[in-house]
Chain A
Amino acid sequence: MKKISVFDVALTGMMVAVIEVCKVAMMELANIELTSFWLLIFSKHFGKKVYFVVPVFILIEGAIFGLGDWWFMYLYAWPLLVLVAKLFRKSDEPLTWAIISGIFGLSFGFLCAFTKIFFMGSAAAAFSWWIAGIPWDLVHGAANFILMLVMYKPMEKAVAQIKKKGF
């Protein structure tokens, strides 16, 4: 594996900062977030460098907000999104990315329910928890879909310009 350069560390820091700032700025909007959007865009364009972004982001989230059950959900939910992005990285169609982001938003509660089995003590309790959150999963899925559809093209142009400058 290639050695990690100072440039890689700086780039990782910038990507995490972008995700974190957007997350905090949008905290008042229930289940509307840009973390999915950024992780998909970064995974598409910055290759293996994004492998460092996810753990750093998760650690910072834990340091800021404490280690609740949600933190354990992050350990597999976000890496899974990056993995899916890798599978589709050659696609350049906004609708493809919007569908991926939308389905991830819809599935977020279901994915998180696996952690709830351990924290709530039973699969039945975790199932009830997932059911109660379905309206919010629908909001999450719709918001992810729309945000990606609207922002994909402008962001592609911006990333292309950044890459021209050697990033």
Chain B
Amino acid sequence: MKKKHIIALLLAVVLVAGMVLAYSAFSEKPTEGTKKITIEVVDNEQNSTVYEVKTDAEYLIGAMEDAEGLTFDGSEGQYGFTVSEINGVVADFTVDSSYWAFYVNDEYCNYGVSEQPVNDGDAFRIVYSTY
């Protein structure tokens, strides 16, 4: 292996290490214990239903399971669990470019439902959207 390759590979390793450190330091983390949150669902007819949830779940999918009256379905996709149906309303991107958009405290969720952390006081919105 040539010297320039060793230097380039070392730089790549430093880059990877930096990214891993940045992820550990700055990624959103869930809170343990009981949390009070709200989950608002806005369906395809703009009807809004708000669920007040008391949950021990660390990630949104668990909190959604704890929300009384909220039903949902979906499948495991390449980026984790993908929600396709909420309260009987199906969003199918392949049919009409519709999907369920997830927001936390008015910001678009950066994680899938199985990785989206839940913290006390969070206000989630799940909105039927079209592209």
Contacts and interface: CB of A to CB of B under 8 A. Distances in A.
Contacts of A102: 12
B12 A106 contact: yes
B78 interface: yes
What bracket does the count of chain B residues touching chain A fall in?
20 to 34
Given A95-B1, A106-B12, A128-B28, A134 B78 contact: no
What bracket does the count of chain A residues touching chain B fall in?
20 to 34
Interface string B49-80: 00000000000000000000000000000110
Nearest to B7: A99
B19 A132 contact: no
Contacts of B5: 93, 95-96, 99
A4 to B, nearest CB: 35
Interface of A: 28-30, 66, 68, 93, 95-96, 99, 102-103, 106-107, 120, 125, 127-129, 131-138, 141
Interface of B: 1-2, 4-5, 8-9, 11-12, 15-16, 19-20, 22-23, 26-28, 78-79, 97, 107-108, 110-111, 131
